Amino acid sequence: MLDPPKIAIITILEVLRLCSSNPKSGREGVAKVLGLKTATLVNALSTAVHNEIRFNRMKKRSNRHITGRNISVARLASSGKLFNIAVRRAKAHELRENSNQDWLDTWDITTKTRIGSLLLSMLIETARIPEHYSDPETGGRVQRMVPAFSHGYELSQGRKFGILTAHSALRELFKNDSIVGVINARHLPMLVPPRPWLTYNSGGYLSQDEPCMRIKDNAEQLRYLKKASNDDRLYTLLAGLDSLGLTKWSINRPVFDAVRKVWNSGKALGKIPAHSFETPEPAKPEDFETSDRARVKYRMEMQEWNNSRASQHSERCDCNYKVEIARAFLNYPMYFPHNMDFRGRAYPIPPHFNHLGNDLCRGLLVFHEGRALGERGLYWLKIHLANLFGKDKLSHDERLGFVEANMHNIMASADNPVPDSLVDGSAHAAQPWWLEAEDVWQALAACIELTAAVRSAEPTAYVSRLHIHQDGTCNGLQHYAAMGRDKKGAFEVNLMPSDRPQDVYAGVLNGVVRLIDEDARRGVAEAVALQGKLTRKIVKQTVMTNVYGVTLMGAKEQIGARLREVKDENGQHVFDLVAVSRTALYVAKKIFESLGEMFTQAQQIQNWLNESARRIAKSMPEPALESWKRMILDAKESQAKFRSALRDAKDNSRVLDNETILEIRPDLGPGAQRRKRLNALATKPMTTVVWTTPLGLTVVQPYRKLSKRCVATSLQSIAVNDVNMPSPVNSQKQKTAFPPNYVHSLDASHMTLSAIECKKAGLVFASVHDSYWTHACDVDRMNDIIRDQFVQLHRRPIMADLKAEFEDRYKDHLMPVVGWEYVAKSNFVDGGKLKLNKARVTKKTERAQKEKDVEMELALRHLEACGEAEAEGDAAVLEHRERKQAAAVEDERIQRAAEDLSASLEVLNLREVTLIDPKADLA
């Protein structure tokens, strides 16, 4: 076990790390708190302590051979020998044979929660921080020690959460002081090559054994992952993770110097937030008490202001992390070990500083290995710089012209990136040219690299270490177009030859503008307000995320944020804060409509994936379905017997005794609630959507309605997810998440195949999902590999394979017919009828509707007796007549449908889902 001082240090560092990187804002119009949920902290503390215990056990003399073996395997990976499948298979078999992981014990959820809670409560009781205040008597500054953390509660969506809040003085330290000392080494890059992934849980850091997949509350996925690893189906996928982890990085010193100068100045520049939040708080309107609109607008402005303040604090702390980690690794090479999510997408394990981070991270990083540019390398370096300034939709010649025309600006940016006048607060200081780029720090790095190359004796011989990017055009739509063999969609996303790159976002924007113009001519208020104000930036995020399952409400939030950024020549917001939500919803609907027009085939495939996932998630094996039927029948029969017994007892003026009641209704006896919960759980859909990627990874969607367990601790009662309890699936989430997850799994497969081939070709390779990086001189070779692997991937019958897998995996599953209730006299076999479920209404509403119907019926008969002409004059009576006729038609349709459905159709076979013909082009 651990010594008390070490446990105390782990507790302090972990709480400081989480509090400094995850501030949380409160509600509108209320004093803000920056805190974390107690449950999050408790879980993080227990995990950190548990990992340290494991590490200490591994360091024991009896386990020292493990570290030595890990280092030797890592050296073997660095030599490239492990990319031979035969060698990798032999080493993996040897590792499994000699694996002894007795030191990898596990803690149950109750133990983890109580240990973490105990440590947190001790920290709250003992941690103190100096606070300065004015003495009311002397007026001088006095120091006192106050608690550094406070524990409280916060209400959110009707639920109460425990919150840990750091003192304001401590939060200020997070924004300015060096905090690299609070970062656990397991969250930092490696100085040596990472251990290769030979099996599902032996790779990454040398001294830490964790699964290669990021798994949270999904034990089912871990079982599938272990089975795939033991069946030797993960070699290609794990080799891809190794190739990414072996890329060697360094800090870009000139860019770091510029970043440090801006950081130390405390000014907001280049997306580095200012030291303090200087936006004034919105003024409370004079008519706040009398005007509802003024009150609503003020509260929304306060919420926006508080969110901006919390966001600025968060960004400042995050930037502090990145600057300090870069400073620590300034003179050292580094490696980023990789793992993956449940879909197979690769991510660097160090969370705070890596090439998947923001523009600042990417600008600070360069490849450790340099390579001579050559003619094509110089060409691609210029193209890369133009792309960073948003010129990526121009032809290559136009981009080269842009760079040549701005060569003086490029050199000036490289020579003096951050003039002293800019950070000293001079009122008329000129902005450097590189700040006009979309990705400013990467643009500065490109300016410095291009300037150094041009000024060298031989530019083509200049050794460059800068990473050059090749990005996909809305990569999800590219996969949909390839799966559907959609030539029109393929052209829009640059899968077809063209003189210049197609801009899918501009295409959608043009469609949206056309639809809005049509509505404006009809006088639609939102359309009139949007005339001439829509830009590519407003629609881009929604177009990008539509293929990944963004909902209409999610798109509304995205567009609303972009509309609030639109300002007039006076710097005032064009769209009112109160009305922007309605306008954003209108634009979101138009974007979805425009996308449906442009990518019809993609929409059809997405619909098929949605429907397949819906049926799977609502299905159950036949025994479970029979149990569900029996439970319904038993419940109805016992209720009917109970009602009959109550009537008999009432007629005979007697009272039913308890024994008789329990004999008729055993579900009311002791343990009834527990049995009811277990029966309900046994008959709920438990089937999650599972499929296999082209690389052999079995993907299990983790969306379930997890059971909660309340753990009583010394700090508070904490509700935690109990992953060991069976939980029904979240059918809606399974349905909506399947199309984007499936496309992500294809995207991950393509990236992994490209990474392996680039490694075999001797290229230095990195990727950010659908953005591929290498040296400038190797871009042409990487492009050939990327395209070849994409073609090889989609030569497979991907959709047909998926359908065949579903038919085989779920062949014994049946789905109850949605919207119909089977009402049987005795059992489901002897017969019965299907009737449409109707919306529930209260008895009062039903009685009022019946009275209204009777009155209308009497009035109708009276008017018909007086003559048809008089009847036609009463609009209410006509409306009643039409409604009655429509109801009769609907009743007839329902009865007809019920008669057509045989008893065998009480369930629906999952295989009755038609597959889109992938060879049919929708030109």
Residue-level pLDDT at 404: 94
Mean pLDDT for the chain? 80
Among 165-174, 507-516, 753-762, 855-864, name the one with the lowest average pLDDT.
855-864
H helices of 564-599, in order, are: 580-598
CA dist 724 and 707 (Å) reads 9
Task: Kindly tell me if the per-residue pLDDT of 24 is higher than 50.
Answer: no
Which H, E and C letters describe 280-332, residue by residue?
Answer: CCCCCCCCCCCCHHHHHHHHHHHHHHHHHHHHHHHHHHHHHHHHHHHHHCCCC
Residue-level pLDDT at 178: 56
Question: What average pLDDT does the segment 461-469 reach?
Answer: 95
Which carries the bigger pLDDT value, residue 63 or residue 660? 660
The pTM of this model reads 0.78
Out of 91, 267, 382, 540, pick the active-site residue: 540
The CA-based dihedral angle spanning residues 350, 353, 358, 360, taken in that order and rounded to the nearest 10 degrees: -170
Q: Which of these, 503, 511, 494, 601, lies nearest to 547 by C-alpha position?
A: 601
Which carries the bigger pLDDT value, residue 598 or residue 335? 335
- pLDDT category of residue 917 using cuts at 50, 70 and 90: very low
Question: What average pLDDT does the segment 302-325 reach?
Answer: 85
Residue-level pLDDT at 568: 76
Active site residue 917: no
Residue-level pLDDT at 373: 94
CA dist 618 and 641 (Å) reads 31
Residue-level pLDDT at 449: 96
Task: Kindly tell me if the per-residue pLDDT of 776 is higher than 50.
Answer: yes
Question: What average pLDDT does the segment 526-554 reach?
Answer: 83
Active site residue 657: no
Contact 381, 468 (CB under 8 A): yes
Max Cα distance, the chain (Å): 113
H helices of 38-154, in order, are: 38-58, 64-78, 85-98, 109-126
Active site residue 770: yes
Out of 318, 439, 486, 770, pick the active-site residue: 770
Residue-level pLDDT at 839: 44
Question: What average pLDDT does the segment 326-331 reach?
Answer: 92
Task: Kindly tell me if the per-residue pLDDT of 748 is higher than 90.
Answer: yes
Residue-level pLDDT at 370: 94
CA dist 237 and 693 (Å) reads 10
CA dist 584 and 590 (Å) reads 10
Maximum average pLDDT range among 513-522, 574-583, 855-864: 513-522
Residue-level pLDDT at 504: 83
Residue 878 CA: distances (Å) to CA of 92, 530, 531, 869, 875: 80, 42, 43, 12, 5
Q: pLDDT by residue (tens digit) across 176-185?
A: 555 555 566 6
Q: pLDDT by residue (tens digit) across 124-154?
A: 989 888 887 777 777 778 888 888 888 888 8
Residue-level pLDDT at 755: 94
Out of 471, 503, 519, 722, pick the active-site residue: 471
CA dist 500 and 507 (Å) reads 14
Task: Kindly tell me if the per-residue pLDDT of 506 is higher than 80.
Answer: yes
Task: Kindly tell me if the per-residue pLDDT of 828 is higher than 50.
Answer: no
